[in-house]
């Protein structure tokens, strides 16, 4: 909605944000378009309404996962709980997706530093690895 309201601020063409949402999940309490419904219910005006957006997000995620039914796609008619792992597997198996996870909140190290999530092949340095030791010692 911010993009629609202020396209010049975001340096985009107005038509880029002119698309209406498409129903993917239907819920008994919020219908076919849970996000726009909650946006209106909580009177959200912008991205700066952090508290209301957080509350709306929590409701949308819980309602969608626990009570939602897929309204389109190969798993149409299935509950979100059953369709979610199937959709994940379909994307991974077809090469269109990959497994990815990140923390849900701020992570602090034991030394008090903020940890930054990065998708890398190695999480820890192997200090005993000879090639790394040669590089470090030079």
Q: Is residue 51 one of the residues assigned to a domain?
A: yes
Q: Is residue 104 one of the residues assigned to a domain?
A: no
pTM here?
Answer: 0.68
Q: Is 16 helix (H, G, I), strand (E, B) or coil?
A: helix
DSSP state of 21: P
Q: Is residue 131 one of the residues assigned to a domain?
A: no
Q: Is residue 120 one of the residues assigned to a domain?
A: no
The number of distinct structural domains making up the chain is 1
Could you give the CA distance from residue 69 to residue 49 in angstroms, rounded to a whole number?
A: 29
Q: Is residue 132 one of the residues assigned to a domain?
A: no
DSSP state of 124: S
> Is the confidence at residue 50, as pLDDT, over 90?
yes
119 contact partners, CB below 8 Å, separation of at least 6 = 100
Q: For 80-121, write each residue's pLDDT tens digit.
A: 999 999 999 999 999 999 988 778 888 898 999 998 877 677
Q: Is residue 124 one of the residues assigned to a domain?
A: no
Domain CATH number, residue 52: 3.90.740.10
Question: Which alpha helices (H) appear in 29-128, and where do they start and end?
Answer: 34-41, 50-67, 80-93
Q: How confident is the model at residue 66 (pLDDT cuts 50, 70, 90)?
A: very high
Q: Is residue 129 one of the residues assigned to a domain?
A: no
Q: Which residue segment(s) compose the domain that 35 sits in? A: 2-98
Which tokens sit at 125?
Answer: 């340095």
Which tokens sit at 66?
Answer: 């626990």
> Is the confidence at residue 122, as pLDDT, over 70?
no
Q: What is the CA radius of gyration of the chain?
A: 21
* Sign, CA torsion 8/13/18/21: negative
Q: How confident is the model at residue 123 (pLDDT cuts 50, 70, 90)?
A: low
Share of the chain above pLDDT 90, in %: 70
> Is the confidence at residue 29, as pLDDT, over 90?
yes
């Amino acid at each position: 909605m911010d993009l629609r309201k202020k396209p010049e601020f975001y340096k985009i063409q107005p038509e880029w944000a002119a698309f209406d949402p498409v129903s993917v999940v239907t819920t008994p309490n919020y219908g076919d378009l849970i996000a726009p419904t909650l946006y209106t219910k909580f009177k959200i005006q912008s991205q700066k309404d952090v508290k209301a957006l957080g509350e709306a997000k929590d409701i949308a995620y819980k309602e969608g996962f626990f009570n939602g039914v897929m309204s389109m796609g190969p798993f149409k008619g299935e509950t979100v709980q059953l369709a979610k792992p199937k959709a994940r597997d379909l994307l991974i198996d077809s090469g269109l997706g990959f497994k990815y996870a990140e923390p849900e909140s701020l992570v602090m190290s034991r030394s008090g530093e903020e940890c930054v999530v990065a998708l890398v092949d190695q999480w820890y340095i192997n200090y005993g690895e000879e090639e790394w030791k040669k590089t470090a010692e030079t």
